[in-house]
Amino acid sequence: MSVSMLSTFIKPMHREGRKFVAIAAAITVLLFLIWEPLGWVGTGLTIWVYYFFRDPVRVTPTRPGLIISPADGVISLLEPAVPPAELNIGTRPMTRISVFMNVFNCHVNRVPVGGKITAVAYRPGKFLNASLDKASVDNERNGLAIEMADGRMLGVVQIAGLVARRILCEVQPGQVLQTGDRFGLIRFGSRLDVYLPDGVQPLVVIGQTMIAGETVLADLAATEPARAGGIR
């Protein structure tokens, strides 16, 4: 029981966070030397930095055809949109599912579906609020094009937000990844867009909470219509 309780509060940390935790800890020591109450503020900040870069173990559904959320957060947009041209996955509108991450969400990103990475494309841009529709076009972004086993293409795009200042992508074109594999993170608040293949209906609704690597966004084999939802 004690091990289980410990794992509830202490999570693995992404290596990108180590230097930030070290910096925060060093500042905390200095603050304690200046004035103890300031040191406790620094302690809280250090804990938050660790918490931001947490990288918990996730249990990914493995049935063929499932498309899984690439990020923790909330569905903020659900609409037809033309995917970024640099991904080279077509010029027709595709169903875009946007997952908005606030500064308290886990920011490690995971591949929504298994397949071959055919493109990794970075584009510099602005740092508008990531919940805005125009952030998909105007903000700094990094996109992956994924070719699935049946030849269909899916796009997933990391979008910087109002306070995000670095997108980290850890995969390269030509790699073959499995659903739920980690592929990067975005520092300090941001959004991920998923572009579904033609004819695939989303199984989520605006306002629904997502868990990266676990929540099902869509099912390639499903024939049911898109879902509707309401606040309870």
Indicate which residues carry an active-site annotation. Answer: 190
The answer to whether residues 50 and 95 touch, using CB atoms and an 8 Å cutoff, is: no
The answer to whether residues 172 and 77 touch, using CB atoms and an 8 Å cutoff, is: no
Dihedral (Cα; 120, 53, 57, 101), 10-degree rounding = -70
Dihedral (Cα; 22, 26, 27, 31), 10-degree rounding = 140
The 3-state DSSP composition of the chain as helix, strand, coil percent (nearest 5) reads 20, 30, 45
And the tokens for 60? 């990914």
Rg value, the chain, Cα: 19
Specify which residues 99 forms β-bridges with: 75, 192
Give me the half-sphere count of Cα atoms (radius 13 Å) on the Cβ side of residue 223: 0
Q: How far apart are the first and last CA of the chain?
A: 34
The answer to whether residues 98 and 77 touch, using CB atoms and an 8 Å cutoff, is: yes
